[in-house]
Amino acid sequence: MYVAIAGNIGSGKTTLTEILTKRYGAKAYYEESDNPYIGDFYNDMSRWAFQLQISFLGSRIEQTLDMLSSGEKNIFQDRTIYEDAHIFADNLHQMGLIPSRDFATYMKIFSLTTNLIPQPDVLIYLRASIPTLVTQIKRRGRAYEMNIDEAYLSRLNEKYEYWINNIYKGKVLIIDKDVEDFVADESVVERICQRLDEMMSQGSDNK
């Protein structure tokens, strides 16, 4: 079972990954949180956008190769390589922060990689409004995230919705983080696991 958890900054991906990993006795693969470019990026996006995304892409490729060679039967992944490209890099390109030539190079590397790796059996998408994201970002208190622009988060949310509804092909379990608080309410976790088990037992795509 290979399950990936997708969602905007502050949506709760890491927390849900921890919960489900313990629940299923699985192996967790977490997003790189100490990327060497991330602090510089939030201080000067136009200068560091491409370097940040290439660094994340390389980290994701390395992680995926480790996943493939691990021999683990059950894996939960915190954020996917697809989000790196279709959400974050694409958004920075459209904002004019990654030049088209650099973006084309990035997408070429991305396409070569995704043709060689498996797609998750189920993608869990954490949908969350801007107020929910801002509250959770402030709660976890990462210094480099304290000045994230809400308009930036909003653009990412729009990208996520478009990606889920129009680009991603595969099973998607959508969790509305505004109302489904899997941290405060254990019954929400039970429902998520029930839905996940049902989707894993099905052979066709289910969104």
Closest CA to 40 of 134, 133, 143, 155: 143
Q: Which residues make Cβ contacts (< 8 Å) with residue 32, sequence separation at least 6?
A: 56, 59
- What dotted CATH number matches 2-201? 3.40.50.300
Q: Which residues make Cβ contacts (< 8 Å) with residue 20, sequence separation at least 6?
A: 3, 5, 26, 76, 192, 193, 196
pLDDT, averaged across the chain: 91
The percentage of the chain sitting over the pLDDT mark of 70, rounded to a whole number, equals: 97
- Annotation marks residue 78 as catalytic: yes
Q: How far apart are CA 135 and CA 11, in angstroms?
A: 10
Q: Which residues make Cβ contacts (< 8 Å) with residue 2, sequence separation at least 6?
A: 67, 75, 77, 118, 120, 121
Tell me the pTM.
0.90
pLDDT at 142: 74
Q: How far apart are CA 88 and CA 49, in angstroms?
A: 10
Considering 40, 78, 102, 181, which one is annotated as catalytic? 78
SS3 assignment, position 9? coil
Condensed to tens digits (0 to 9), the pLDDT of residues 157-195 reads 999 999 999 999 999 999 999 999 998 899 999 999 999
